[in-house]
Amino acid sequence: MLALDASLGTTVLWCSVTAALGWWFARGEDFSLWTLLEADLANGRVPTEEGVDALLELLGAWGLISPGVLTDLVGALLLVPPVRGMAVGPIRELLRSRLHGSGP
């Protein structure tokens, strides 16, 4: 029974810490980002590198807020600038191909 209590306590602590970190990162993001990205996409424009980077950072923060080991891992990876940098180009290319009709 003691082992169950310890693992439950560890799990609750882990969820609380990662949620607090996620909130801390998310509060720094401007929620008008959605409006800018939505306007770009609605007008057939590919979002800027900075816009996609900010969106990935926000998704990373939400990943930390969401409970679960996998979401924590993906969220933490998206908060690392070099990892986001590697993802921005392919995401913009995917959006470009979808917007201009040459996608799958």
Question: Which pLDDT tens digit goes with each residue over 58-102?
Answer: 899 999 999 888 999 999 999 999 999 999 999 999 989 988 875
Would you say residue 3 has pLDDT above 70?
no
* pLDDT above 50 (res 1): no
- Residue boundaries of the structural domains of the chain: 2-99
Q: How many other C-beta atoms can be found within 10 angstroms of the C-beta atom of residue 96?
A: 14
pTM recorded for the entire structure: 0.79
Exposure string of 79-88, with b = 16+ CB inside 10 Å and e = fewer, is beeeebeeeb
